Amino acid sequence: MQTKTVAIIGSGVVGLSTAISLLEAGYKVTLIDKEKPGQGASFGNAGLFADYACLPFTKFALLKKMPGMLLDSSSPLSMQTSYLPNLVPYGLGFVKSCTREKYEQGKQALTSLQKIAYESTDKLLRLSDSQNLVKANGCLALIASEQDLSDAKQGDMLERQQSGVRLDFLSAHDVSDLEPDLARFYAGGVFYPDTRFTVSPVSISQNYARYFSEKGGVLLQDVAQEVIPDSQRVAITLSDQTLTFDQVVICAGVASKALLKPLGFNFPLVSERGYHLTLDLGEKQISRPVGWLDKAVFLTPMADGVRLAGTAEFAHADAPAELSRTNTMLKHASTMLGNEPEVVSSWVGSRPSTPDSLPVIGTLKNHPRVNLAFGHGHLGLTFAAATGQLIKEIINNEQTSVDITPFAPERFS
């Protein structure tokens, strides 16, 4: 029997993970992207394998806060007014997902992905010789006021514990013992002992790409302009040629929406931009990711400095960076550190976000040769390997490791 051919569109960490999973299963795989592997959100994320992330954002309590957050220049949420029309379908989907039933379904779905995330990630790290890029020092999530800390203990943190997440509540003294170079901006916080992080997200992607190429995978730097499936094959139109494959997997992040629109699917996928600054802390140091939950920013020690990452800015992917966002982030970092650190570099990129906080993983019912793997929002690095495993199982017609119904593309129909 002839080996099946599969094209992966998108060489971020989700596309790379999917490509390796299919290659290991015996498929001939071509990875297509206009950029080099590991760019976009895969380059600029906070570097966390967020094992604690099992709660959707879809809560009426958050929905009620959003107008005030959008008017507050110091909040982590912002929106460029020209992007508002794109947010209408997303906003309607978000509201629908805030019901208790939908929220609980989302929580169960994310928890199920977490159950296969660690092992599947470990496999790819070993195959690509990337273990040295990952540290297992846990993660700190800090809160500024005693009242907010108390609320968290009875709210999100309790939910996480009930979902199987290991965490320890810390007093201000406990936090100081773990990270003595932080300023005392916090009332206390939470320590996640099992959380891992990478000192270089882009190096992980580059290692994945190197392994993929060494094992016979094809890397093609070109623009996928159109996907044209039929009953026998699927054609992909590139800048100066058209290639055909048995299957395609679209892992193109925010760009996935435009590729699918000609097929009759208008996903409520939006560009939620995040920023990062690379900081030089001088003589100060931190030994693990430290988040300030009130401000939704993280400091992560990396190979080239400390990465300050965060914010959620709804804006066109190619819009100019908003200087006010990085200025606000730098103020938060200065509060966390007790002084203003030197900024070495800055970055902005788009996360592909869905209304219900769940990625899209599955096959289009009307186009069974077209598979989707995008919309991971803040959790691309965390769930990349798990997604690749599931796509491999789907294309192989195997029983999937988890129930993929909650991630089905048609849930937005």
Q: Quick: pLDDT tens for 294-339.
A: 999 999 999 999 999 999 999 999 999 999 999 999 999 999 999 9
Half-sphere exposure at residue 14, Cβ-oriented, CA atoms within 13 angstroms: 30
Tell me the average pLDDT across 351-377. 97
The pTM (predicted TM-score) of the whole model is: 0.97
> Does 3 fall in a domain?
no
- pLDDT per residue as tens digits for the range 247-272: 999 999 999 999 999 999 999 999 99
Tell me the average pLDDT across 119-137. 98
> Does 109 fall in a domain?
no
Question: Token pair for residue 208?
Answer: 């994945």
> Does 155 fall in a domain?
yes
Residue-level pLDDT at 71: 87
Of 111, 198, 153, 174, nearest to 293 (Cα)? Answer: 153
> Does 34 fall in a domain?
no
Residue 36 is classified by DSSP as P
One-letter amino acid for residue 404 of the chain = I
> Does 359 fall in a domain?
no
Contact (CB, 8 A) for 190 and 140: yes
How many domains, in total, are found in the chain? 1
> Does 174 fall in a domain?
yes
Residue-level pLDDT at 1: 41
Tell me the average pLDDT across 226-238. 97
Domain of residue 66, CATH code: 3.30.9.10
Contact (CB, 8 A) for 271 and 254: yes
Interatomic CA distance for residues 299 and 48, integer angstroms = 11
> Does 262 fall in a domain?
no
CA-CA-CA-CA torsion sign (341, 347, 348, 351): negative
> Does 258 fall in a domain?
no
Q: What's the residue count for the chain?
A: 413
Domain of 173 in residue numbering reads as 51-86+135-196+270-352
- pLDDT per residue as tens digits for the range 141-196: 999 999 999 999 999 999 999 999 999 999 999 999 999 999 999 999 999 999 99
